[in-house]
Amino acid sequence: MILQLLVSLALAQEPLPPGVPVPVPSNDDAVARAFAVLSDPSPTAAQSAIGILQTALQADPGSSVARVNLGLALQRTGDLAGAAREYQAVTVSDPGCGAAWALLGWTKAIQGDPVGAESTWRDGVRAAPSDMTVRAALANGLRDWKRSAEAVDVAKEALRIDTRSVEIYTALGQAYLDQGQLQLAKFVFQKALRDTDGDGKSDLPGADGSADLHCALGWTWFQLGDTYTAQTELEKAVKFDPQLVTALIYLSRLYLDQHNYADTVPLLERASAQAPGNHAVWMNLGLAYRGAGKLAEAKATYQKALTIDPAVPDPHFNLAVLMGDYEKNYPGAIAEYRAYIDAGGAETLLAESYIEAVEKEQKTQDKRKKADEDRKRREEERKRREEEKAREVPAPAPEVVPPPDEAPTPVPPGGEPVPEPAPEVVPPPEDVPAPLPPPSPEPVPPAPDPEPTPGSPWGEPK
């Protein structure tokens, strides 16, 4: 009995939280080294970058790029307060640095202060009106807050200032995507990638290598039903940015639909490292582990999803399927289905039907187990009787030795001696009357004299 699993739908229905901010490049040698280190998003790499950047700032305290990257490195280690201090310092010393305004707003959004984030971004737009980074941050923030119509307006206003901004085209297309206007979204993304002069490159500098742009276009194609083109675009996105969470999630969703679990697992493992609090990532990683036969990892991943958001009941459903179908832990499976129902799961009727199926399967297995036990017991009893019978071997008959005067009785090839014939028993003589003498033969009368032969008419004997 193989039951279906619940796939998390959050990937397609909700925009994801802001991704990992990107470092700002620089021509300064020290900052360039830190930039290279920050290409690895791990906390260890960020810690190394902090040392490099602090040394660079000692040599040049007014370097806005070094300070913004220092804030980014601190943010990657989890020090949001330290990161915000660095970003804030740049907005004061260099108000035209849009990256500082954008990152400062994101720290507030991550800390659960959407009002402060929006206010920071709008201040940044006024302070650096030609900087598209802060305008894109504002548009994406509005998208995350389900205000896609406002995000469209912000992006269109930005395009009136700069018609060659890849960030703004991406934000505008994504806002249309959030509204379900798939054809408009596709038009915007393809326009950003358009090659009008035929030189093999997009008209917008940097569009060809934009992971965000290819990711958004790929997801648009997926929703339009063209999975082949969608996969092509999403694989480009992952190639250009192997740590882009949205691209990792969307491509993994495509692979899950193809039952390509081997390629799904590494994508979602990377995504879970980048977004450890994303419930949908852990749910789908559990599906990938289960499909790849890594059942222990799948179980632990579903349990991890429950710790992230206990109010979402889907992991209970998938845990129940795992326990029932693979572990044959029927009581545990039934308990998880009931937990799913009690938590208000959307597939309550399905869960109840699965409970009936599991209970029926349990009864069948119990009967089969009892039959196997009875068969085993009968077999053991039969063997025991055979062993007892084998131990009861009769003693061999004593060998009969013939007298020395007599020749031994010959033994035929079969092994048993041929018994000698019993002597004939002659009854004792009785008084038997004497036999009568044979009768004497009757006298034979004498032969008659021969009659005379008639003579010849000539008087001569015949």
DSSP per residue over 73-107, as a string?
Answer: HHHHTT-HHHHHHHHHHHHHH-TT-HHHHHHHHHH
Nearest residue to 136 via CA among 153, 118, 158: 158
* Architecture of the structural domain at 11-111: Alpha Horseshoe (1.25)
Q: Is 444's pLDDT higher than 80?
A: no
Asked whether the beta carbons of 64 and 48 are under 8 A apart, the reply is no
Q: Residue 40: pLDDT above 80?
A: no
Query: CATH topology of 11-111 equal to that of 209-307?
Result: yes
The per-residue pLDDT for 408 is: 56
Question: Cα 132 to chain center, whole Å?
Answer: 42
- Rounded Cα distance, 59 and 29, in Å: 12
pLDDT at 361: 82
Please tell me the predicted confidence (pLDDT) of residue 366. 78
Average pLDDT over residues 423-435: 54
* Nearest-angstrom CA–CA distance, 64 and 70: 10
Residues whose CB is less than 8 angstroms from the CB of residue 146 and which lie 6 or more positions away in sequence, other chains included? 178
Quote the CA–CA distance of 276 and 161 in Å, as a whole number: 37
- Is residue 20 pLDDT above 50, yes or no? no
Q: Which fold has domain 209-307?
A: 1.25.40
d(CA 250, CA 257): 11
DSSP three-state, residue 174 = helix
Domain chopping of the chain, boundaries: 11-111, 130-206, 209-307, 313-372
Contact 214, 204 (CB under 8 A): no
Q: Is 198 helix (H, G, I), strand (E, B) or coil?
A: coil
Return the CATH superfamily for domain 130-206: Tetratricopeptide repeat domain (1.25.40.10)
pLDDT, average across residues 117-127? 97
pLDDT tens digits, 146-156: 999 999 999 99
pLDDT beyond 90 at 451: no
The reported pLDDT for the residue numbered 363 is 85
For the question of whether the overall pTM of this predicted structure is more than 0.75, the answer is no
Q: Cα–Cα distance between 268 and 291 in angstroms, integer?
A: 13
C-alpha pair distances (Å), 324 with each of 3, 4, 79, 321, 355: 9, 12, 43, 5, 10
pLDDT of the residue at 394? 65
Q: What is d(CA 285, CA 268) in angstroms, rounded to the nearest whole number?
A: 6
Alpha-carbon gap, residue 27 to 272, rounded angstroms: 33
Q: Tell me the per-residue pLDDT of 281-328, one tens digit each, with 9 for 90 and over.
A: 999 999 999 999 999 999 999 999 999 999 999 999 999 999 988 888
Q: What is the mean pLDDT of residues 256-267?
A: 94
